[in-house]
Amino acid sequence: MTSRPKADLLTLLRHIPLGRVTTAERLAGEIGIPAPLAMTMLAQLTDDERDLVPWHRVVAKGGAIGRGLYRDQQFARLVREGVMVSPAGIVQDMARHLLVSLDAAYLKNASPVEPPPPEGRPPGRSRGMKLRP
């Protein structure tokens, strides 16, 4: 990438599809910086930057979400996108949600993971529709 690691990080974040996650280590490897630097840059995103990029899709190597100030927000956003997160804050089924690569060609073809339908409601029915024979 370029010699502007923060700009490169923001660009990569913009390309992570809905319902997918990646790790700070993978981002760092793609940009060519140490993983701790990538984690620091993520932690220091401004509110405006947080509004522009899906920062919440970056998790630890084992699937743990952050423990900082934005933990609850990250948890809620991931769950809303269909990523199953345990109450302890660990992404479940990492094989399904983890991006294999951050390569531009792979990202172009990486599809979002479809969120499962809410429990108790069959797919394709709105909340107001009743199940009738």
What residues does each domain of the chain span? 5-109
Ranking 33-37, 41-45, 54-58, 115-119 by mean pLDDT, the lowest is 115-119
For 28, other C-beta atoms within 10 Å of its C-beta total 19
Over residues 51-69, the pLDDT tens digits come to: 999 999 999 999 999 888 8
pTM for the full predicted model: 0.76
Over residues 54-111, the pLDDT tens digits come to: 999 999 999 999 888 899 999 999 999 999 999 999 999 999 999 987 765 555 566 6
Tell me the CATH number of domain 5-109, given options 3.40.640.10, 1.10.10.10, 3.30.30.10, 1.20.1440.120: 1.10.10.10
Q: What is the pLDDT of residue 23?
A: 94
